[in-house]
Structure 1
Amino acid sequence: MAYSYSKWKLHRTVDRSPPEQPYPGVSILKPLTGVDPNLFSNLETFFTLDYPMYELLFCVENEHDPAVMLVNSLIHKHPHIDARLFTGGLRVGVNPKINNMQPAYLAAKYPLVLISDAGIRMRDDSLLDMVQHMRDDVAIVHQMPFVCDAEGFAAVYEKVFFGTAQARMYLGADFMGINCHVGMSSLVRRCALEEAGGLRAFADYLAEDYFMAKDIVSRGWKMRVSSLPALQNSGTRSVGALQARLRRWARLRIAMIPTTAMLEPLSECMPLGAGAAWAAGQLFGAEPLPFFLVHVLVWFLSDWLMLRSVQNGSPPFTKVQFLLGWVWSECCAPFVLAAALLSPEISYKKKPKERNVRIAAMCEPYLQTRFRC
């Protein structure tokens, strides 16, 4: 289902012809913390967007952060782009990202707001594509997470995960109308966000993107995935860093939607194949091992097609590298979920101060997971 949907949904040709009515302006919020080797080139892609009217609002929590100098140099290099820098943030809750963005959000002047993480690299037509998906009844247009091409096993692992397991979940959920909103690159209609209380209304949630989408959609608005994926382009990649990130996401899912999270192993290749092989042996007398191997082979080939669809062509590595990355990704998935279950405390961005945070009203009383900011 996800593969068929991806062939229809992703990588459509962006219509660059002049519209009947002018496109609305977009305020782009860029929360930044620290500098990685690709940050300069990632940010510069926002200065070269093919869109008629937008502003760039950079948010840095600490005025001594090295990102300040980098942003100022880009503003000086592209004086024709409406860009401003906000430092210091404004504490409105426990979520450091919301606190960092709050002054820029209050100063934003356009009806559409794009929240874009520091590691995102934009194609010149990505914003235009997102705005074209913003119909009158749509309040959120978000990009499906994917990654830029890079070298090394960690890059293969990252691309395989986001191009197969993550893509299956994301596209399948969008097709069925399930909230799959990830806020790393998300265009929001400001009036709909203000109806929900603005950004500060979600400052007490660590998974602010999920609850923002849940609240806005509950008010009758719709949500769409754009046709161009979000290209994450971190300058430092490692297997451990990606697995730490996946564990953090798993802990959030367990806290927010525990009943669904408990069923996650049934969506993974190895546990599902083992269970299906046992069931086929019990019900039909089939040999479990050949059944399991055929199951894994079909899953592997399907994931190869899925990755090619998300990549819009051949991935930048060989089939042998894909096999190694795929086996590693699939074998690690159950252990990542188990680690999240055994250690439910969430560490967010390695902040030095630790606070126990309650996910709050929308999470229901049974959610007792402790959070560390």
Structure 2
Amino acid sequence: MSAHALTVIQWVLLAGCSAAALYASLAAVAMPFFSARRTRASRGSDADPFATVGVSVLKPLCGAEPRLYENLRTFCNQRHAHFQLVLGVSSPDDPAIAVVRRLQAAYPRHDIELAIDTRVHGSNLKVSNLINMAGHARHDVIVIADSDIAVEPDYLDSVAAPLTDARVGVVTCLYVAQGVGGFWPRVGALFINEWFAPSVRVAHAAGSRRFGFGATLALRRATLASIGGFDALKNCLADDYWLAEHVRALGLRTVLSNVMVATDVIEPTFAALWQRETRWLRTIRSVNPLGFAFLFVTFPTPWVLIGAWLTGDLLARSEDAAHLCAALVSGASVAAGSAARLLLHLRAARHEHTFWRDLTLVPCRDALLALQWLAAAFGSHVMWRGARVPVEAGVAPAARDASLNAMEPTDGA
């Protein structure tokens, strides 16, 4: 080997910096501005073929979360003519019951049903709740939405519309996060708005449809029955993903709706936020190990810092053309990665104030995400609503066996 040749480590770091800069650029371009997302979400459908079709919205609840009433109220203010809300809890002492009673009193003409059922089915308590709630659903279209989701008045019309196509099996939505209650919720909102959502959009633009999000899963009642109902998911950690995966195994498509719903981040402490986000990352690891392994290219700031150091080191050895060219590539990656990360933050900001307020959090957020990724690479359990759940529960053997043939050429969520 020539004395002037780059070392293996230098080549690896140069490749990593270039890949991270390319990814950051794609992510920044793929994400619409926050204001554009809100405009698109509020337009509604000009001609909704599902206008006369009944929709049952299932919302499993657990505890009186901050803003629970406000979020549930947005589901009562829908333009859709025929819809039902089924709100389920697994304990007669759940504080969410009082919130539901308040909602029922405020909307006496709405079809709002409270399901209180203590029966437990499998290891996933959310799915257990859904199994108990399913018998209360009366309509042909089922929409499952997490408890912390807020929506626009045209939401049901918009997410149900793609189901008029018989080739569509499930419709899902991305979401915009807002921190509720202080510093750590703000940091958590950046996780969703400036890492998770862009990564989904990049994968979607590349052709992947292997995803399903608890923010919204809309499907026909007949489709749900065809996959074995919610019982097929009762031992799955990643139940949202596996529901959509089961549907894809039937040969039906997943549609990512243009609608962006809103979600709350409420974790008040670093420990709570760490637990939630490492659980999220371990869930990704459980359903897509290869995709999880390559997430390291999606953390821009660490790579910008590595690239800056590498550029300086290469320039110090730039007596030959190889090192000089490598330094130029590394420097270009640093510039492109920095600009793309700044653009992504600008696009995700709600307004100018939040852009400047959270700008100093961006490098900290990226560094924390890298540490969480390393932590999520290990460990066999996650904590979910106080329960210790094995990561292996995210890989349901029946679901995997049923879907292998349909999914081999595609990417993971």
Range class of TM-score, shorter chain? 0.7 to 0.9
In structure 1, the gaps of 5 or more residues are 365-373
Distance 1:301 1:128 in 2: 38
Report if the CA contact (8 A) 2:224-2:230 is conserved: yes
Summarize deviations over 1:157-194 as a string: whole Å, max 9, x none: 23322222112211112222241322232222222221
354, 361, 366: which one aligns with 1:317: 354
Q: Which residue of 2 aligns with 1:162?
A: 192
CA–CA separation in structure 1 for the residues paired with 2:158 and 2:257? 7
CA RMSD of the aligned region, Å?
Answer: 3.1
Which residue identity does 2:257 align to in structure 1? Answer: S
Aligned equivalents of 2:353 and 2:305: distance in 1? 31
1:237–1:48: structure 2 CA closer, same or farther, 3 Å change rule?
farther
Aligned residue number for residue 127 of structure 2: 98
| Structure 2 Cα separation of the partners of residues 242 and 7 of structure 1 | 26
CA distance in 2, matches of 1:289, 1:150: 44
Give the drift of 1:54.
0.6
User: Is the contact between residue 89 and residue 102 of structure 1 (CA under 8 Å) also seen in structure 2?
Assistant: no
**Equivalent-residue separation in structure 1 for 2:351 and 2:336 (angstroms):** 19
Q: Is the 8 A contact 1:111 1:190 kept in 2?
A: yes
- Give the aligned residue type for 1:303: R
Matches within 5 A, 1:275-294: 278=310, 281=314, 284-286=322-324
Do 1:59 and 1:101's aligned partners in 2 also have CA atoms closer than 8 Å? Answer: yes
Alignment correspondent of 1:258: 289
Q: Does 1:211 align with 2:248?
A: no
Match of 2:74 in 1: 45
Name the counterpart of 1:299.
Answer: 337
Answer whether contact 1:156 1:325 (CA < 8 A) is retained: no
Structure 2 unpaired stretches of 5+? 1-25, 402-413
Matched-pair contact (CA < 8 Å) for 2:88–2:129? yes
Asked whether the equivalents of residues 180 and 266 of structure 2 are also in contact (C-alpha less than 8 Å), the reply is: no
Cα displacement (A) at 1:116? 1.1
Is residue 91 of structure 2 the alignment partner of residue 54 of structure 1? no
- The one-letter code matched in structure 2 to 1:182 is F
Contact residue 380 and residue 390 of structure 2 kept, 8 A: no
Determine the structure 2 residue equivalent to 1:332. Answer: 368
> Relative to structure 1, is the Cα distance of residues 316 and 186 closer, same or farther in structure 2, using a 3 angstrom cutoff?
farther
Write out per-residue CA displacement over residues 183-206 of structure 1, whole angstroms, 9 at most, x where no aligned residue.
232222222221111111111101
Contact kept, 8 Å, 1:265 with 1:272, in 2: the verdict is no
For residues 59 and 40 of structure 1, do their structure 2 counterparts lie closer, same or farther at Cα, with a shift above 3 Å needed? same
Post-superposition offset of 1:22: 3.2
Partner of 1:346: 382
Distance 1:195 1:240 in 2: 41
Query: How far did residue 16 of structure 1 move?
Result: 4.8
Q: Which moved more, 1:191-200 or 1:271-280?
A: 271-280
**Could you say what secondary structure the match of 1:139 adopts?**
strand
Deviations 1:105-157 (A, max 9, x none): 12211121111111111222222221233341212111113213657433432
- For 1:367, the equivalent position in structure 2 comes to none
SS of the equivalent of 1:133 reads helix
Give the CA deviation at 1:289: 8.4
Structure 1 residues 1-150: aligned runs within 5 Å: 1-7=26-32, 10=37, 11-12=39-40, 14-19=43-48, 22-136=51-165, 137-148=167-178
SS in 2 for 1:227: strand
Partners of 1:16 and 1:355 lie apart in 2 by 42
> Who is 1:369 aligned against?
none
SS of corresponding position for 1:107: coil
Query: What is the distance in 1 between the residues matched to 2:179 and 2:373?
Result: 27
Q: CA 1:308–1:192 in structure 2 vs 1: closer, same or farther (change >3 Å)?
A: farther
Q: 2:390 and 2:255 mapped to 1: Cα distance?
A: 34
Instruction: Say if 2:221 is the partner of 1:185.
Output: no
In the TM superposition, residue 260 of structure 1 has moved relative to its aligned partner by 2.0
Closer, same or farther: CA 288–242 of 1 in aligned 2, 3 Å: farther
What is the distance in 1 between the residues matched to 2:200 and 2:392?
27
Distance 1:296 1:329, change over 3 A: farther
1:252 Cα deviation after fit: 1.6
Using the TM superposition, give the Cα deviation of residue 50 of structure 1 relative to its aligned residue in structure 2, in angstroms. 2.1
TM-score (norm 2): 0.77
Q: Which has the higher contact order (CA 8 A, sep 6+)?
A: 2
Matched residue count: 361
Pair 239,355 (structure 1): closer, same or farther in 2 beyond 3 Å: closer
The answer as to whether partners of 1:269 and 1:296 remain within 8 angstroms in 2 is no
Q: TM-score, normalised by structure 1?
A: 0.85
What is the distance in 2 between the residues matched to 1:138 and 1:267? 30
Task: Give distance in 1, aligned partners of 2:230 and 2:74.
Answer: 25
CA distance in 1, matches of 2:336, 2:181: 27
Aligned counterparts of 2:63 and 2:80: Cα–Cα separation in 1: 28
Q: Does the Cα contact within 8 Å between 2:185 and 2:265 map onto a contact in 1?
A: no
Q: 1:75 to 1:241 in 2, by over 3 A?
A: same
CA contact (8 A) 1:62 1:87 kept: yes
